Amino acid sequence: MTTLSHKTVPGPLRGSTRGEPAAAAGPTAPPVLSVRDLHITDHVTGRRIVHGVSFDLVPGRTVGIVGESGSGKTLTCRAALGILPPHFEITSGLVEIAGTDIAALTPRQWTALRGATIGAVFQDPASYLNPSIRVGPQIAEVLRVKKRLGRREARRRTIELLRAVHLRDPDLVYGQYTHELSGGMLQRVLIAAAICADPRILIADEATTALDVTVQAEILDLLADLRESAGLALVVVSHDLAVVAQLCDEVLVMRQGHVVEQGPTRTVLHRPRHEYTRLLIAEHEQYGLDTFLAPQEVS
Ligand SMILES: Nc1ncnc2c1ncn2[C@@H]1O[C@H](COP(=O)(O)OP(=O)(O)O)[C@@H](O)[C@H]1O
Ligand SMILES: [Mg+2]
C-alpha cells in the first residue's frame, strides 16, 4: 500500500514561517483527488444512486458539479470523504486521495487524512459546529490535535485564520457562539475550520447556497483566493451555474445520478451538447450568468 502524503502546500495561509512560493500547479501536476467511474448504491432499497462519476483534480484547480436537487452531488462528495450515510456503499469504481485508494484506508488513516489532506464545507454551518462552545476554541482544538500546537499557539493561529477568511474582528469572533454570528460569518468560520490543518483538497458542497448574493460573492472570492495563494484544489458543488461559471475549470453536469455532460467550464456553458445542460443555462440566464463569461467567449 502506498503511504499517504501529508505534505502541506505552502502559501500565505500556511503560517508565516515558511517562505516557499505557492505550490506549482497546473493540468500536468499529478491529481490530488481522482474519482474513477464511481457507482453508489443504497443497499437497503437496492436503489442505484450514482452511476459512473469520473474526474481528476490537480492542485490549484477547481472542478464543479452542478445539477438539480437529488442528482447525487452530495453523495459523490461524501463518498470521496469516506462519510457515506450508513446504508450507502461504493459498489464499483475508485477514489484516490493523494494517490491512495480510499478503499484501503483504515478508520485511523481516515482520521489522519480528514482535515489534513481533505476538508469540506457543507451547506448548513450550524450542524458542524457545537452551539454550546465558542467558535474559536473549536478551531483551536482541531489545530491542537491535527497540528499538535500548544494552547497559546493554537489560539494565535485560529485568530490568524479568522482574519484570513475576512472576518472583520477575529478576536471578538473567536469568543462568540454560533447563534451570535450571521450566516455569512458562520460560513467563513466553517471555511477557516476546514482549512486550518492545511488540506490539499477542499470540498465546498452548496457552501454558499443559504447566503444572500453579496455574501455569496465574497465567499466565492475567498475560495478563489485560497486556491491561488495556497494551491488548494477545490471541488465546488452547486445547483447554481453562475457559481460554477465563476470558479470552475471543469464542470460535471449531473442528472439523476448520471453525468450527462462534462468538460471545460467555458465549453460546457457556451456550447452545451446535452438538452439538460441547455435547460439549466436557460433557467440561469435571467440571473445574469452572462456577467461571469467574458464577452469575447460568447459566440
Ligand atoms: N441520508 C440519506 N438517506 C436516504 N436517501 C438519501 C440520503 N442522502 C441522499 N439520499 C438520496 O440519494 C439521492 C442523491 O442525493 P444527494 O447526493 O444528496 O443529491 P444532491 O446533493 O444532488 O441534491 C437522492 O435521491 C436522495 O434522496
Ligand atoms: Mg446536495
Q: What is the mean pLDDT of residues 96-115?
A: 93
Counting ligands in written order, the one closest to the CA of 79 is 1
Task: Between 277 and 21, name the one with better pLDDT.
Answer: 277
Expressed in angstroms and rounded, the spacing between residue 205 Cα and the centre of ligand 2 is: 7
Domains of the chain with CATH codes? 59-84+201-299 (3.40.50.300), 122-199 (no CATH)
pLDDT at residue 268 greater than cutoff 90: yes
Is residue 24 exposed (0-12), middle (13-18) or buried (19+ Cβ within 10 Å)? exposed
Strand ranges of the sheet holding 258-264, from the earlier edge strand across to the other edge: 100-101, 88-97, 33-42, 47-57, 258-264, 250-255, 62-67, 233-238, 201-205, 118-121
Expressed in angstroms and rounded, the spacing between residue 224 Cα and the centre of ligand 1 is: 28
Q: What is the pTM of this model?
A: 0.86
**Strand 33-42 to 47-57 pairing:** antiparallel
Expressed in angstroms and rounded, the spacing between residue 88 Cα and the centre of ligand 1 is: 10
pLDDT band, residue 258 (cuts 50/70/90): very high
Q: What is the mean pLDDT of residues 73-98?
A: 95
Atom of ligand 1 nearest to the CA of 69: 23
pLDDT at residue 20 greater than cutoff 70: no
Query: Ligand 1: which of 49, 53, 69, 205 to mutate, judged by most atoms within 8 Å of the beta carbon?
Result: 49
**CA 190 from centroid of its chain's CA atoms:** 11
Residue with CA nearest ligand 1 atom 18 = 74
Q: List Cβ neighbours of 97 (8 Å cut-off, separation of 6 or more).
A: 4, 32, 33, 80, 113, 117, 118, 201
Q: List Cβ neighbours of 117 (8 Å cut-off, separation of 6 or more).
A: 4, 5, 6, 32, 97, 98, 199, 200, 201
Q: List Cβ neighbours of 85 (8 Å cut-off, separation of 6 or more).
A: 78
Q: What is the mean pLDDT of residues 42-69?
A: 95
Task: Between 11 and 232, name the one with better pLDDT.
Answer: 232
Instruction: Work out the mean pLDDT of the chain and round it to a whole number.
Output: 86
User: For residues 287 and 299, what is the distance between their CA atoms, to the nearest angstrom?
Assistant: 19
Is residue 124 exposed (0-12), middle (13-18) or buried (19+ Cβ within 10 Å)? middle
User: For residues 51 and 37, what is the distance between their CA atoms, to the nearest angstrom?
Assistant: 8
Residue with CA nearest ligand 1 atom 17 = 72
User: For residues 278 and 289, what is the distance between their CA atoms, to the nearest angstrom?
Assistant: 13
Q: What is the pLDDT of residues 139-170, one digit of tens each?
A: 999 999 999 999 999 999 999 999 988 899 99
User: For residues 231 and 234, what is the distance between their CA atoms, to the nearest angstrom?
Assistant: 9
Residue with CA nearest ligand 1 atom 14 = 72
Residue with CA nearest ligand 1 atom 20 = 70
Query: What would you report as the CA-atom Rg of the chain, rounded to the nearest whole angstrom?
Result: 19
- Ligand 1 interacting residues, C-beta cut-off 6 A: 49, 67, 69-75, 85
Expressed in angstroms and rounded, the spacing between residue 299 Cα and the centre of ligand 2 is: 32
Q: What is the pLDDT of residues 176-216, one digit of tens each?
A: 999 999 988 998 999 999 999 999 999 999 988 877 888 88
Expressed in angstroms and rounded, the spacing between residue 297 Cα and the centre of ligand 1 is: 35
Task: Between 247 and 214, name the one with better pLDDT.
Answer: 247
State the pLDDT at residue 217: 86
pLDDT at residue 67 greater than cutoff 60: yes
pLDDT band, residue 106 (cuts 50/70/90): very high
Of the candidates 22, 50, 18, 64, the residue with the CA atom closest to the CA atom of residue 235:
64
